[in-house]
Amino acid sequence: MNFRCCVCGEFFDLHRSASRIADRQFPMQCSIGCLKKHIRIWKFPKINTGELLTSPDWKIVPKPAHMYSRHMRSEYEYAFAKLFKEHNIEYRYEPFAIRLENGDRYVPDFYLPEYWTLVECKGTWGMGAKKKFKRVLLEVPSLIIVQSYLCDIIVRLYGDKIIK
């Protein structure tokens, strides 16, 4: 199946199994290079909320208590942390929650303070996840969702490297 990169505009193909779980309704990147460009195009005004500089559009609230672990919960998140570290991109892992208009909380996987950008490593789309992320994208336009086809590549490239 042909997909169009949201950064360079080029069409790209995915393996059949990857194309079944990829979703065209969310922006898609054709490569890690385009993902890095996608991260760098976001520039939002910052405001100071304690130690973190965030967008004034984000309604920062405390994270749910069960999310205060220092451990990453997926192989995708761990590989992304290594990718950011290798490319000297400062990141914070699940640093805060954002209150959505309907009262739900959304905790992004990563916050990149230099780019005022949030990154979500999305594996498979579970029940209600697409609906939730459509709503999140409307309220948090600086969110970049990285779908599993690209997460898998990042895991293959960075999965066996150790964070220093």
How much is the mean pLDDT over the chain? 76
Q: What is the pLDDT of residue 48?
A: 44
Q: Three-state SS for 137?
A: helix
Domain boundaries, the chain: 30-158
Evaluate whether 119 touches 144 at the Cβ level (below 8 Å): yes
Q: What is the pTM of this model?
A: 0.75
Model confidence pLDDT, tens digit, residues 109-149: 998 888 778 898 887 777 788 888 888 888 887 788 888 88
Q: Three-state SS for 105?
A: strand
Q: Three-state SS for 115?
A: coil
Evaluate whether 144 touches 116 at the Cβ level (below 8 Å): no
Using the CB atoms, write b or e for 31-54: b if 16+ within 10 Å.
Answer: ebebbeebbeebebeeeeeeeeeb
